[in-house]
Amino acid sequence: MRFVPFVGLVLSSPVLLQAVQGDRPVHEALAFWLVAMLLGVAGVRLWAAATRPSAVVPLRVVPMPAERRGRRRD
């Protein structure tokens, strides 16, 4: 989550540059920056959820006795 502001700034940098140059209203650029920040937060959360180790404990495999390994009618 530390790099979310950087991601938001990178995503919105063209719009912020237009606002600094006077080509776009500042409130529109700030709204665009806020949306970019929310996308950055959502991306970080999704990445964390996708790369989190599984919390499910695998079941132990129980070996079958040797006499029951064949087919039923053999």
Number of domains in the chain: 1
Global model pTM greater than 0.75 = no
Contact 37, 8 (CB under 8 A): yes
What pLDDT score does 72 carry? 64
Q: How many CB atoms lie within 10 A of CB 29?
A: 19
55 inside domain: no
57 inside domain: no
Q: Which domain holds residue 33?
A: 4-43
Q: For 35-61, what is each residue's pLDDT tens digit?
A: 888 888 888 889 888 898 888 888 888
For 8, residues 6+ apart whose C-beta sits below 8 A from its C-beta are 33, 36, 37, 39, 40
Closest CA to 33 of 52, 47, 48, 18: 18
22 inside domain: yes
